[in-house]
Structure 1
Amino acid sequence: MPSTATKVDTKLANAWKSKAGRDLTEAELMAMPEGEYMNDKQLDFFRARLEAQKEDLLSNAGETTEHLREDTSIVPDPADRATIEEEHALELRTRDRERKLLKKISQALARLDSGEYGFCDETGEPIGLGRLLARPTATLSLEAQQRRELKQKMFGD
C-alpha cells in the first residue's frame, strides 16, 4: 500500500513540469520541490488566482450597484423600510470589505511583477505555499503575522 501512495506523490511531484502554471491544481503545487519555490509556474498560478478573485469582486460590485438602484421604491410600512435599509447597509459594508481586498489584490499583483511575491515583508523568508493558497494576498509569513498579532494584543496597536 505505501508504494501506491509513493507513486501518486511522484506523479503529482512531476505533473507541474508538463503543465502551464494556470492549469496546476493545489495538490500539484504543494507537491513541487522546495527548490522550485516561486518559480515561473507558481507565479503564473498565483497571478491567475488573484486575477480571478479580482474579476469576481468587480462583478459583485456591479451587481450591488444594480441591486441598490432597483430597490429605491418607496415602501409605506416602516418595518419593511427598516428591513430594506438594513439589507442595504449590510451589502454596503460587505462591498467596503471587498474594496479593501481589491486594493490588497492590486498590491499582490504589483509584488508579482516586482519579484517580491511569496516572501515576507519583515524577514524576507518564504511565506509558504500553504499560506499563500489560503490567503493569496499575504505579505507576512505565519510566524511574522503571529508576532504582529501578539504585539497588537499586548500593546493595543
Structure 2
Amino acid sequence: MALTKKELAAFEAQLTAWKEELEESQNDTMHQMHEQETTAFPDPADQASAETDLSFDIRIKSRELKLIHKIEETLYRLREGDFGICDACGGDISVKRLQARPVTTLCIDCKTEQEQAEKTRID
C-alpha cells in the first residue's frame, strides 16, 4: 500500500509546518534567554525556583531540538522515497499510524515487538 502523491505532499506540508513552528519556538526562547538579566534573588528559595524553571525550559527545548532532527530525517526519507516504509521489516507503515506519528520509522507490529523486548529487558 504505497502512499499517493497527494498523501505524500500532505505529509511533507505537515512536517515542514511543524518543523518551522518548533524552530520559531527555539529562536524565541533563545532570544528571551539572552535578553533576561541574570537575576540574583535575595531569597534562596526564589533563586532555586528560578533555576528549576530554567532547567525545565532547557530540557523542553532539548527535546524539541531532537524532534526537529527527527522531522528533518523524515523529510529526507520522504524525498528519497523511503517514507512510510518500516525500518525493521521493510513493510508499509499504515497511513493511520503515519497520521498519528509522522516521524515514525516502524510499523505497528515492529514497534510493539520492540516495546515488548524493552519491557522484557527492564523486568
TM-score, normalised to structure 2, is: 0.91
CA distance in 1, matches of 2:99, 2:61: 23
Listed one character per residue, the Cα deviations across residues 48-90 of structure 1 (whole Å, up to 9, x for unaligned) are 1111110111111112112222152222221111111111000
Q: Could you say which residue in structure 1 is the equivalent of 2:13?
A: 48
**C-alpha distance 71-115 of structure 1, shift in aligned 2 (>3 A):** same
Q: Which deviates the most, 74-83 or 44-53?
A: 74-83
Q: Could you say which residue in structure 2 is the equivalent of 1:143?
A: 109
Counterpart among 131, 136, 141 of residue 97 in structure 2: 131
CA distance in 2, matches of 1:79, 1:66: 26
Q: In the alignment, is residue 99 of structure 1 matched against residue 65 of structure 2?
A: yes
Q: Could you say which residue in structure 2 is the equivalent of 1:64?
A: 29
Q: Could you say which residue in structure 2 is the equivalent of 1:18?
A: none
CA distance in 2, matches of 1:142, 1:61: 31
Q: Could you say which residue in structure 1 is the equivalent of 2:46?
A: 80
TM-score, normalised to structure 1, is: 0.72
Q: Which has the higher contact order (CA 8 A, sep 6+)?
A: 2
Report how many aligned residue pairs link the two structures.
121
Structure 1, unaligned runs of 5 or more: 1-34
| Root mean square deviation of aligned Cα | 1.3
**C-alpha distance 42-71 of structure 1, shift in aligned 2 (>3 A):** farther
* Structure number, greater radius of gyration: 1
CA distance in 2, matches of 1:52, 1:73: 36
CA distance in 2, matches of 1:79, 1:155: 40
CA distance in 2, matches of 1:55, 1:89: 24
Contact 1:68 1:88 in 2 (8 A): no
Q: Could you say which residue in structure 2 is the equivalent of 1:152?
A: 118
Q: In the alignment, is residue 114 of structure 1 matched against residue 80 of structure 2?
A: yes
